Amino acid sequence: MTQRVLFVDDDQMLLSSMERCLGLKFELDTAISGLDALELMKTNAYSVVVSDMRMPIMDGVQFIEKARVLSRQSVFMMLTGNQDLQTAMRAVNEGQVYRFLNKPCRPDEIEAAVTQAQRQFNLEASERELLNKTFVDALGVFSDVIETLQPHLVGRCGKTEQVLDELRLACGLPSRWEYKVAAKVMLLGFAMQFDRRSGMNVSATQATIELNRACTTAARIVQRIPRLDSVAEIIRCVPTTDGVLADPSSSDPLDMVMNGAALLRVAHMVEALSDSGVECDEAMTWIVQAAPDISPMLAEAARNLYPKEVEAEGIPFDPDDLKPGLILFDDLTGADGATLLRSGRKLSQTHIDKLRDEKADRGSVAPVLVTRASYLQVFPNGTPTATA
């Protein structure tokens, strides 16, 4: 885990003293101003950040507010005098600062406080790791449910998540785990619908009805899971988002929800419309109608990401030549006609091994059709040669 500490103060003598006192125990960086500290934080990860309250140009509260955008996981502490006590207490109560130290403060007191803050960072990091594992396991259950209820939706989970992440990058928004989880969970709402066509080749009115129903269902389910309330709120806002993006540097949870809902709505439409064979210009008309106030940057990103040509046919592969990451162009059926894997499914090594076993049992099987896009991604040099 990160054990690096950043000390911010406009007093160079104090910074030099901290380097002597703390430099042997911690990997310590110092900054003479909030602006200098922010530059350091753009390229370095810090477990603990200690800032003076009274500094020119940018005071401690202003610095920490901006620093939290760059490093949400850092533990922040503030050095303050008696005259700034109310400001410091408010920062602690609002959750911006872990604790404050009252000047003058002895070096051993600062060392003890930094050590305690480091323990807090390690504790929170361990909790995040456990929570992330819980999310992964829970999402595995969701995927199993989706595959059981509506197998054709399984391939869409990964594609919607990928499109969302590419839109996010194009719009300069920070990465959030909530966005990825919301993209996966929203498909559960579609899987719970009785109409097996959910989200595919339906009218605009019917698509809107299905989206509303799916998001309501998914949000209702996920809101019961501890710490997933923000994910539920993102999904709940998807049908009503106007496509407006908030400031990327905002730390307001409501702005995070707004951005997540806009990204997910557009990503869902890009994936669903392209999957249905709708051309780019027509698809953009649908997207703008659904989100009339869509941010120009998001609309441009959607147009740039939209497939310019809908694939007319897949590339045939012998099972022996398949590689993980290839995506099925068509449904894959067994000897008895039963569907083994749905189109859009990304092949894993387990899938490939089963296909090879079936070929060995039957002597020969029909070529497996994969999408050209996945073929070019897995085999950028155009090898091996696909089945003729």
Tokens at 371, concatenated: 């999408």
Topology of 4-123 in CATH? Rossmann fold (3.40.50)
CA distance 87 to 94: 11
How many CA atoms within 13 Å lie on the side-chain side of 208? Answer: 9
CA distance 89 to 100: 8
Q: What are the backbone dihedrals phi and psi of residue 159, each rounded to the nearest 5 degrees, phi first?
A: -70, -45
Tokens at 133, concatenated: 């594992």
Name the helix (H) or strand (E) containing 65.
Answer: helix 60-70
Q: Give the pLDDT score at 116.
A: 93
pLDDT in tens, the chain (388 residues): 557 999 999 989 989 988 988 888 889 999 999 999 999 998 888 999 999 988 988 888 889 888 988 888 899 998 887 666 676 666 666 657 888 888 888 888 999 999 999 999 998 888 777 776 776 666 666 666 666 656 555 555 567 888 899 999 999 998 888 898 888 888 778 777 655 444 444 566 677 788 888 899 889 888 887 778 889 999 999 999 999 999 887 767 899 999 999 999 999 998 888 877 788 888 899 899 888 899 999 999 999 988 766 555 788 888 888 998 888 887 787 777 777 777 767 788 888 888 888 888 877 778 888 887 788 888 877 655 555 4
Q: Give the pLDDT score at 1.
A: 53
Q: Give the pLDDT score at 40.
A: 93
Q: Give the pLDDT score at 196.
A: 46
Q: Alpha helix (H) ranges present in 171-203?
A: 177-191
In sequence order, the β-bridge partners of residue 341 are: 332
CA distance 116 to 110: 10
Q: Give the pLDDT score at 234.
A: 95
Question: Looking at the domain that runs over 315-378, which CATH code has it been given?
Answer: 3.90.105
Residue 172's region, left for phi above 0, alpha for psi from -120 to 50, else beta, is left
CA distance 130 to 382: 41
How many CA atoms within 13 Å lie on the side-chain side of 373? Answer: 14
User: How remote is the C-alpha of 210 from its chain's centroid?
Assistant: 24
Tokens at 374, concatenated: 């996945």
Q: Give the pLDDT score at 241.
A: 92
Residue 242, CA distances (Å) to 50, 185, 251, 266 in order: 40, 21, 20, 10
Q: Give the pLDDT score at 141.
A: 67
Tokens at 89, concatenated: 């207490």
Task: Name the residue ranges covered by the structural domains of the chain.
Answer: 4-123, 150-305, 315-378
